[in-house]
Structure 1
């Protein structure tokens, strides 16, 4: 079996992930921040360890500004609905995932102005077009770091510079890039970084979060939910301090223990090493698929300008049927369709039928890529 669906969820996980979660359940198991006994303290330390690991990965100094959530979708919703008010203006791109577009469209109905900057047919965003879209009322630039359809990287560092020049904040959806590409929130000018744990951070599902940069005033970012935090229990108002302001309810502590192990695995292996490996695999895959008659590739066709995600179609073949055949006949697991990103597919010209998506990870090999290319040759005949 060849697993090429890492853009949905990475698999397999490093061995230490399951062990870390089992260790938490067997040796800790308590609720963090709810009691003063030794196991509650151990649980709180486990969460703080994960905050430190995430902050280190993204080159950020304050672990308390790492807020945990169930996934990047929740983190994006917190950022967008918590920050934007009627009359505000937000600029985004035409290759966003529905986790960005759906909350933006809901906010648009309530008086937030949304400008979608068109990307090229390769999914490339021109920073000059981005700047042209900014107005005096622009409060936020909201961009994915990497397309989940083509892997194309967007110019987040340039966007960060533009945000500072125009008095706006930059929100980056790093669901596809965190752990796979180097990210420095300070150097890149990122104010809000949404990340998920179950993709290139190699943690379990149900984990992720939001990193709040120093330019973000928590008083201006309303919580998505409110409730018990274990702190300031004498008050019926939500705590104002971080991270409690945004972390109501008992957290997924066992999941965060797995996330901590995943992030530390990435740190130990090195993001640059992972990136080099995935670029080589992507280049091999681009070269192999490009040589097959009837196959059309989407994106830049440049491994250095994308993640290890690649979309393609085969002339005269339905993407869903191709995906099923690759699974049943060749043991290649991938994803076909619109990938929860209709805006991206409209940009590429692949709406509504979608594409076949191969998304590779740190555990894939050149031999698997060669086998997959040979399988596509057979399917395309």
Structure 2
């Protein structure tokens, strides 16, 4: 749930999820280096062993690490500052309400998509056939054969817009898409973005496309 935690409501039971890994620094608004694993009830029947074992502040005089969950997998000193920051991010989302978060992010994403989809040199990756489908607030695109890094640098230096170019930690999907050399420019939207931010992004892409085809 690297891109969906904090964006789409997740229910372990209703969604038939046995194990869920999530990062904290994206849509949960936590610091870098935070994240977690949530194990469903089916894991109770297994004898799980940690990859890294070590001491903790719980039962410190025992030779072996406590066997209870979740301390079984929490060797060493916890990232206390990171956890406090992650908790603050989660509380921020809870105060807004996940329904409102999901609605706002959907509207921002589709506003941007509609604004750029008909630009002459644009290529958009992903399925936008159903506006009501649950999806991450992301639009990934390329402009003709321009390298993604070049487009992203122009957006940053000239328009003060931060995007993520490159392989996005998923080189195999880029091989499948044929973009392993060009990369892809990813626009990611958050609750802190406004419609004016979206319109600025649309205008910037149109301007870069205009220059390229001038």
- Give TM-score, length-normalised by structure 2: 0.92
Residues 122-171 of structure 1, C-alpha deviation per residue, up to 9 Å, x if partnerless?
xxxxxxxxxxxxxxxxxxxxxxxxxxxxxxxxxxxxxxxxxxxxxxxxxx
1:287 aligns with 2:140: no
Kept in 2: contact 1:201–1:263 (CA 8 A): yes
Q: Which runs of 5+ in 2 are unaligned?
A: none
Kept in 1: contact 2:146–2:182 (CA 8 A): no
Q: Mapping of 1:170-209 within 5 angstroms?
A: 174-209=1-36
1:216 aligns with 2:40: no
1:347 aligned partner: 176
2:132 aligned partner: 304
Residue in structure 1 matching 2:159, options 330, 340, 350: 330
CA positional deviation for 1:218: 7.3
Q: Which has the higher strand share?
A: 1
Q: 3-state DSSP class of the match of 1:362?
A: coil
Instruction: Note the aligned Cα RMSD (angstroms).
Output: 1.5
Q: 3-state DSSP class of the match of 2:102?
A: helix
Kept in 2: contact 1:192–1:210 (CA 8 A): yes
1:358 aligned partner: 187
CA positional deviation for 1:219: 4.9
Q: 3-state DSSP class of the match of 1:335?
A: coil
Q: Which runs of 5+ in 1 are unaligned?
A: 1-173
1:263 aligns with 2:90: yes
CA positional deviation for 1:242: 1.2
Separation of aligned partners in 2, 1:316 and 1:366: 28
CA positional deviation for 1:312: 0.6
1:318 aligns with 2:147: yes
Q: 3-state DSSP class of the match of 2:84?
A: helix
Separation of aligned partners in 2, 1:187 and 1:250: 34
CA positional deviation for 1:316: 3.1
1:252 aligns with 2:82: no
Kept in 2: contact 1:197–1:204 (CA 8 A): yes
Kept in 1: contact 2:125–2:139 (CA 8 A): yes
Residues 211-267 of structure 1, C-alpha deviation per residue, up to 9 Å, x if partnerless?
111111375322121111222333322221011100011111121111111111111
Count of equivalent residues: 208
2:57 aligned partner: 230
Kept in 2: contact 1:338–1:353 (CA 8 A): no
Kept in 2: contact 1:181–1:275 (CA 8 A): yes
Q: 3-state DSSP class of the match of 1:332?
A: coil
CA positional deviation for 1:371: 1.0
